[in-house]
């Protein structure tokens, strides 16, 4: 599905036309809400982060030049979530597990079962906040540990540790569903 | 971005990246609109600042113009008065001298010498008046000369004697001349004589800044909220709402009758508060802008060039910007509110007036305002507002 907006719509939204802004919101909403649902249980929290991110989209629309608009929107909501994480002073939890992580070979996880989006989201949301944040950024959004370390202000080892802990927990959850 | 070789578990969860087409609920849209309104308000701020500085520049320009104009007019008036004084003094002296010359010349029998002498005397009136002693000596010599044998030749010699006298030509003597001529004080023309007006009008412009202090009350209970929810709502508002400041503008007309002053005009000011609700990550500023017509009564206490005028009265105004946002009573979003279209305000101010000249007055005015009654039409948002500010500007009296 091609969701990239037309240039005219972007220009009108940047100029402050409310109709255009709402039309653009409709277009960005699936990207924004799918990201928000991976991080937050609560609808109010989802609404806050989705709408704050969209306001930033409007605010910085003049700076957007070319490229994939929705990827840019995704990046904005990721940054917003990280900022929100910092604002709510949960940041120190990240430092609790600053220990070296053993590099292991290829993981041995295999499953034939098909999971719905809701099931996967529920599993993801059951992770601790730091683990969920790092796993989302690494496994789903595709950032490297180096990038995550820079974004969150932690070491790469910490990022790897949280990813490992998240995988361990998720495997357990999947096995429980199997049983 | 990370390595393309992915853990199968990561692969499984990355399917959450696939988009599903869905539309936002009305609650999302309403919340977004409130945030976009707040963004729009922020954007307008620089424009307001631009207007403020432009208006301030205009006031300074107009003030300077009036200051220059008034000083120029005052100088011209003074010069005119001096000229008139001199003229009247000249006229008086001439009259006196004419009498003297006539009396002295009456002793002579020659009418031609009399006219010649008279011409000379009138041409040197100031010089003679400046030095009564000298002039009397000269006159006496003139008289004695004329007594003896007035002839055209002798008169010419006398003329030369007066004209070349260096003492009489110096500037100092000219100054003395005015002082001496002014004794006894001549009667000034009617239009120059100072007269105290009982009624005076004034127009002026004032700009300033006010600190707005907002407070709120909550109803004792609400059918949809528990006591704990009410408590949470109160605490969230107490933490999330702060005082703010605003620009003020006052285009005023005043009338003074003796020491009493009546003031009206157009008065722009704002009510509102700063918001920062961390629980829903909303921040911004509510501003309810009013353009009011005040009616104030004051009494002027004069201390030379400084006058202190306490004013008090009411203003009734039309709302220019009525939209505001507050946190929902359930503390889960933003509620939109509207301020009253017309509202009354109590105003008290202590104006310090510095009289620059008869036309222009510089003012510095601490102002206290209080909104009369609740300003916002909402059951749960019962706010009251007060403000304290300082305005400066110029008044032009006419």
Pairing label, strands B282-299, B301-303:
unpaired
Q: Which domain holds residue B34?
A: 26-188
- Mutation target for B interface from A24, A34, A47, A49: give the one with most B CBs within 10 A: A47
ipTM of the complex: 0.83
DSSP letter for each residue of A3-48: -PPPHHHHHHHHTT-HHHHHHHHHHHHHHHHHHHHHH-SSHHHHHH
By DSSP bridging, strand B342-355 and strand B360-372 are: antiparallel
| Residue A13 sits in the same domain as residue A63 | yes
Same domain, B43 and B160: yes
pTM of the model: 0.45
Task: Determine, yes or no, domain membership for A2.
Answer: no
Statement to judge: residues B122 and B245 lie in one domain = no
**Distance, CA of B284 to CA of B218 (rounded, Å):** 22
- List chain A residues with CB under 8 Å of B35: 51-52, 55
Contact B19 A3 (CB under 8 A): yes
Q: Which residues of B86-112 are buried (b: 16+ CB within 10 A; e: fewer)?
A: beebbeebbeebeebbeebbeebebee
Q: Do B332 and A30 touch (CB under 8 A)?
A: no
Is residue A1 situated within a structural domain?
Answer: no
**Subunit contact A50:B28, Cβ cutoff 8 A:** yes
Residues A62 and A83 in one domain: yes
Residue finishing a domain among B162, B188, B214: B188
**Between chains, do A16 and B43 touch, taking CB under 8 Å as contact?**
yes
Asked if the C-beta of A23 comes within 8 angstroms of chain B's C-beta atoms, the answer is no
Residues 6+ apart with CB under 8 A from B343: B290, B316, B317, B319, B371, B372, B373, B375
Same domain, B130 and B153: yes
Same domain, A98 and A174: yes
Structural domain contains residue B105: yes
Structure tokens given for B13: 């969860």
Question: Are the C-beta atoms of residues B361 and B254 closer than 8 Å to each other?
Answer: no
Rounded to whole angstroms, the Cα distance separating A165 from A94 reads: 12
- Same domain assignment for residues B169 and B295: no
In a domain, A34, yes or no: yes
Distance from CA of A91 to the nearest CA of B (A): 16
Which residue, among A70, A139, A140, A156, would best test binding to B if mutated, counting the most B CBs under 10 Å from its CB? Answer: A139
Distance from CA of A38 to the nearest CA of B (A): 8
**Residue A33: which of B10, B22, B278 has the nearest Cβ?**
B22
* Count of domains forming chain B: 2
Q: Among residues A60, A87, A114, which one ends one of the domains?
A: A87
Q: Phi first, then psi: what are they for A88, rounded to 5°? A: -85, 10
CB contact under 8 A, B31 and A51: yes
Q: Do both B57 and B144 map to the same domain?
A: yes
Name which of B56, B315, B63 is nearest B208 in CA terms: B56
Provide the CATH number for the domain around residue A163: 1.10.10.10
Q: Which of residues 26-85 of A touch B (CB under 8 A)?
A: 26, 29-31, 33-34, 38, 44, 47-52, 54-55, 58-59, 84
CATH code of the domain containing B383: 2.40.160.20
Residue B11 lies in a domain: no
Domain boundary among B138, B153, B188: B188
Please indicate, yes or no, whether residues B143 and B246 belong to a single structural domain of this protein.
no
Q: How many domains is chain A built from?
A: 2
Question: Which pair of tokens denotes residue B215?
Answer: 């407070």
Query: Does B380 fall in a domain?
Result: yes
Residue B213 lies in a domain: yes
From first to last of its 398 residues, chain B has per-residue pLDDT tens of 555 556 778 888 888 877 778 889 898 998 998 888 888 877 776 666 666 677 777 767 776 666 666 566 666 666 766 666 666 556 555 555 555 444 444 444 444 444 444 444 444 444 444 444 444 444 444 444 444 444 555 445 444 444 545 554 555 544 444 444 445 555 555 444 455 557 889 999 999 999 999 988 887 777 777 888 888 888 888 888 989 999 999 999 999 888 899 999 999 999 999 988 877 777 888 999 999 999 999 999 988 889 999 999 999 999 998 888 888 887 777 888 888 889 999 999 999 999 888 888 999 999 999 999 888 878 788 889 999 999 999 999 88
Is B193 part of a structural domain of the chain? no
Q: Is residue A60 part of a domain?
A: yes
> Are both B365 and B223 inside the same structural domain?
yes
A33 and A74 housed in the same domain: yes
Among the candidates B134, B167, B188, a domain finishes at: B188
CA A95 vs CA A156, A162, B81: distances in Å: 12, 10, 88
Among A41, A65, A87, where does a domain finish?
Answer: A87
Query: Is residue B298 located within the same domain as residue B272?
Result: yes
Domain containing residue A174: 92-178
Task: Decide: helix, strand or coil at residue A93.
Answer: helix
Residue B307's DSSP bridge partners are B302, B353
* Pair B33, B87 in one domain: yes
Q: Look at residues A34, A59, A87 and tell me which one is the last residue of a structural domain.
A: A87
Contact between chains at A33 and B6 (C-beta distance less than 8 A): no
A134, A68: one domain: no
Residue B204 and residue B329 share a domain? yes
């Amino acid at each position: 599905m091609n969701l990239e907006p037309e240039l005219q719509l972007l220009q009108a939204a940047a100029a402050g036309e409310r109709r255009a802004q709402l039309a653009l919101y409709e277009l960005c909403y699936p990207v924004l809400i799918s990201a928000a649902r991976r991080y937050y249980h609560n609808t109010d929290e989802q609404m806050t982060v989705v709408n704050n991110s969209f306001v930033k989209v409007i605010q910085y629309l003049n700076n957007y030049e070319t490229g994939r608009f929705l990827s840019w929107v995704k990046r904005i909501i990721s940054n917003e979530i990280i900022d929100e994480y910092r604002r709510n002073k949960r940041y120190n939890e990240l430092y609790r597990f600053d220990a070296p992580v053993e590099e292991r070979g290829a993981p041995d996880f295999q499953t034939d079962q098909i999971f719905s989006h809701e099931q996967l989201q529920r599993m993801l949301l059951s992770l601790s906040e730091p683990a969920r944040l790092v796993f989302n950024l690494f496994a789903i959004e595709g950032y490297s540990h180096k990038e995550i370390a820079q974004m969150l202000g932690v070491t790469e080892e910490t990022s790897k540790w949280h990813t490992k802990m998240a995988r361990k927990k998720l495997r357990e959850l999947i096995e429980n569903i199997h049983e | 971005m990370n390595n393309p070789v992915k853990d199968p578990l990561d692969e499984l969860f990355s399917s959450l990246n696939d988009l599903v087409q869905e539309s936002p609920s009305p609650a999302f849209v309403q919340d977004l609109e409130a945030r976009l309104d707040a963004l729009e308000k922020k954007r307008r701020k620089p424009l307001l600042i631009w207007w403020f500085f432009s208006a301030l520049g205009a006031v300074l320009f107009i003030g300077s113009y009036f200051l220059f104009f008034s000083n120029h007019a005052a100088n011209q008036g003074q010069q005119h008065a001096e000229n008139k004084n001199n003229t009247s003094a000249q006229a008086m002296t001439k009259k006196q001298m004419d009498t003297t010359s006539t009396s002295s010349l009456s002793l002579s029998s020659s009418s031609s010498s009399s006219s010649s002498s008279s011409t000379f005397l009138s041409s040197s009136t100031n010089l003679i008046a400046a030095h009564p002693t000298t002039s009397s000596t000269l006159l006496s010599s003139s008289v004695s000369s004329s007594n003896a044998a007035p002839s055209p030749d002798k008169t010419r010699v006398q003329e030369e004697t007066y004209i070349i006298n260096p003492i009489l030509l110096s500037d100092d003597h000219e100054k003395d001349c005015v002082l001496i001529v002014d004794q006894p004080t001549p009667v000034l023309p009617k239009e120059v004589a100072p007269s105290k007006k009982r009624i005076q009008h004034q127009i002026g412009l004032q700009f300033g800044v006010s600190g707005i202090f907002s407070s709120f009350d909550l109803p004792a209970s609400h059918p949809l909220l528990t006591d704990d929810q009410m408590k949470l709502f109160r605490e969230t508002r107490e933490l999330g709402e702060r005082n703010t400041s605003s620009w003020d503008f006052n285009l005023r007309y005043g009338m003074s009758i003796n020491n009493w002053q009546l003031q009206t005009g157009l008065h722009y000011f704002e009510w509102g508060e700063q918001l920062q609700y961390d629980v829903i990550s909303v921040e911004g500023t509510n501003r309810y802008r009013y353009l009011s017509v005040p009616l104030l009564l004051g009494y002027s206490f004069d201390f030379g060039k400084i006058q202190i005028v306490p004013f008090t009265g009411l203003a009734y105004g039309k709302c220019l910007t009525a939209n505001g946002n507050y946190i929902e009573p359930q503390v889960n979003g933003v509620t939109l509110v509207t301020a009253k279209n017309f509202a009354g305000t109590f105003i008290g101010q202590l104006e310090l007036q510095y009289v620059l000249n008869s036309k222009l007055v510089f003012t510095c005015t601490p102002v206290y305002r209080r909104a009369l009654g609740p300003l916002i039409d909402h059951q749960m948002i019962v706010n009251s507002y007060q403000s304290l500010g300082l305005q400066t500007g110029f008044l032009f009296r006419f």
